[in-house]
Amino acid sequence: MPLGQFLFEYLHRRGVRHSFGVPGDFALPTFAWLEKSKIRSITMSHEPGAGFAADAYSRLNGIGLVCVTYCVGGLNVLNAIAGAYAEKSPVVVISGGPGVKDREKDPLLHHKVKTFETQRRVYDEVTVASTILLDEQTAAAEIVRCVEACLKHKRPVYIEVPHDIVDREIPTVRMPATPKPQSDQGTLAAALAETAQMIRAAKKPVILAGVELHRFGVTDLAIKLAEKLNIPIAADLLSKSAVRENHPLYLGVYGGAMSSDPHVRAYVESSDCVLMLGTFITDMNMGIYTAKLDRKHTVLATTESIKVAFHHYDEVEFCDYLKGLVRAKLRPKKFRHPNPHSEPKPLKKTELTDPLNMREVMRIVGLHLDEKCCMVSDVGDAIFGAVGIRTARRAEFIAPAYYLSMGFAVPASIGVAIANPSLRPIVLVGDGAFQMTGTELSTAVRLGLKPIVLILNNEGYGTMRKIRDGSFNVISQWNYGKICELVGGGEAVVASTKGELDGAIRSAMGSNVLRVIDVRIPRDDMSPQLANMSAELSRLRGAKSR
């Protein structure tokens, strides 16, 4: 069949239902085949937004797709794909490219940077597989190889399609039988035996649930282990809401000084057995090096390796290890929750006119969340201030919590709404990040989507100011109340007091259109979690004390 037909039929068979992108001349023949396929094509305003939308879509759907043109599009979306790689989001990048004939005499073709291979070589650094479909005989096999690598590793792949080959008939291949990876049984048994012994000896074990549990679909095994042994569960910043946050065993978010509350930090750091399941060890997840975990009391189990205290076990499959722990003969532990979750307290009449601060913003947002909401956070206090908000279902909190790329949230909310139309995105985004990608709201309006966007307006790069201040943190002040008029849909309001914000969110939740709330926050205010992080980063980055 034609290459373009095979490409999109195979992607559809493997779970892709939507594509996000921006067309360009080299990619137009490929976009024509996309339009004929069962995959719905969604044109975004800018390539970075397409990448962020595909990333968020993949976190809910299991695989995402972004389609762009050569170099000016492909290199524009690169930052979003780098973030997807860092945080293990399975996104397929399809780039239109110069034709096979175009490459024969190495001309100075438009969009070309250095060589015709430049873009693919750049993508080799942020993908687990890449290809340029120059050979009709191997094209189908290359497509299958890349897509299967994306699904296996939960990371992006890159497929470049020359414009003069996409219409050609190619020999197809069958979907390969994917062999189930096998653990070395002796090594698995040894890893389980040492882990079980550590759990038996522990008086205060805790599970630190990582993002890989969600990415690889094994969260239920971790919950089953926790419930069987009565072991409490904490999450890290990247895995917030991987486990539903109203579960009776859920403690909160652990991240050293950036933990959701002191009780979580005290419990995890005093544990004599920390089971880190699917956890990324990053500076952000570990609170900018403020986490205090003793390695001799720690198990770090991921899809890449199993480490029990000071021993390293290779050739052990993560799923096999989790199933083995669930089956192990272990007695339940005694556990008393140090700080049982209570619902946020509604506003009193006496505080309705009080000015807003970041702590109160998060409290008020928490009053209105329900099972039909998905919180999508950008960087800064949009993430760190939200760690204490409890969500009711899994995957209700999506954020670039490790890679921390500004501008993620607004386009990501489009990916969320497309992947699961039953979820209402609640977007938390700083004014600086909004100015990067906020105009993607026009895409939301065109598609009839209805995110509720809270712009945390503190007059500039508030996080950077606390780390190291300077004129470089100053941005132009937009009239955010006019943004809906600009994009041709939705409604916008300003909230400066607790009562105004509470009323604005309540009204937005009852509406059926996009809502934008300009949340006015004092210039120097921030959440306790962000204050702790900023102080530590300020010390590490050599800022003078002020």
DSSP structural state of residue 437: H
User: In which order are the strands placed within the sheet that holds 205-209?
Assistant: 250-253, 233-235, 205-209, 273-277, 298-301, 306-308, 311-313
Pairing of the two strands 306-308 and 311-313: antiparallel
Strand ranges (E), 36-163: 40-43, 64-68, 91-97, 130-132, 157-162
Q: How confident is the model at residue 39 (pLDDT cuts 50, 70, 90)?
A: very high
The whole-angstrom distance between residue 383's C-alpha and the CA centroid of its chain comes to: 11
Neighbours of 467 (CB within 10 A): 18
CB 148 within 8 A of CB 175: no
pLDDT of residue 144 exceeding 90, the answer is yes
User: For residue range 185-195, what is the model confidence (pLDDT) as tens digits?
Assistant: 999 999 999 99
Q: What whole-number distance in Å separates Cα of residue 446 and Cα of residue 251? A: 41
Tokens for 406, please give them. Answer: 């500004």
Give me the DSSP letters along 489-527. S-EEEEE-BHHHHHHHHHHHHT-SS-EEEEEE--TT---
Give the rounded percent of residues in the chain with a pLDDT score beyond 70.
Answer: 95
Q: How confident is the model at residue 207 (pLDDT cuts 50, 70, 90)?
A: very high
**Residue ranges in 62-205 assigned as alpha helix (H):** 78-86, 118-123, 139-153, 185-201
Q: What whole-number distance in Å separates Cα of residue 172 and Cα of residue 63? A: 22
pLDDT of residue 84: 97
Q: What whole-number distance in Å separates Cα of residue 502 and Cα of residue 493? A: 12
DSSP structural state of residue 455: E
pLDDT of residue 161: 97
**Does 304 or 409 have the greater pLDDT score?**
409
pLDDT of residue 33 exceeding 60, the answer is yes
pLDDT of residue 464: 72
Judged by DSSP in three states, 275 sits in: strand
Tokens for 236, please give them. Answer: 């890290």
DSSP structural state of residue 234: E
pLDDT of residue 152 exceeding 80, the answer is yes
**Domains of the chain, start order:** 3-162 (3.40.50.970), 185-327 (3.40.50.1220), 349-535 (3.40.50.970)
Q: What whole-number distance in Å separates Cα of residue 161 and Cα of residue 94? A: 7
Q: Which residues of 303-330 are buried (b: 16+ CB within 10 A; e: fewer)?
A: beebbbbeeebeebbbbbbbbbbbebeb
C-alpha radius of gyration, the chain, whole number:
24
pLDDT of residue 538: 65
CA–CA distances in Å: residue 295 to residues 142, 187, 199, 236, 298: 42, 20, 14, 17, 5
pLDDT of residue 546: 42
pLDDT of residue 12 exceeding 70, the answer is yes
CB 307 within 8 A of CB 300: yes
The whole-angstrom distance between residue 40's C-alpha and the CA centroid of its chain comes to: 22
Judged by DSSP in three states, 350 sits in: helix
Mean pLDDT of 524-534: 75
pLDDT of residue 330 exceeding 90, the answer is yes
pLDDT of residue 172 exceeding 60, the answer is yes
Q: What whole-number distance in Å separates Cα of residue 195 and Cα of residue 275? A: 9
CB 522 within 8 A of CB 357: yes
CA–CA distances in Å: residue 307 to residues 68, 86, 192, 330: 40, 21, 11, 20
User: For residue range 101-136, what is the model confidence (pLDDT) as tens digits?
Assistant: 888 877 878 888 888 899 999 999 999 999 999 999
Mean pLDDT of 375-404: 83
pLDDT of residue 393: 62
Mean pLDDT of 342-370: 89
User: For residue range 413-438, what is the model confidence (pLDDT) as tens digits?
Assistant: 999 999 999 999 999 999 999 999 99
Q: What whole-number distance in Å separates Cα of residue 325 and Cα of residue 322? A: 5
pLDDT of residue 390: 77
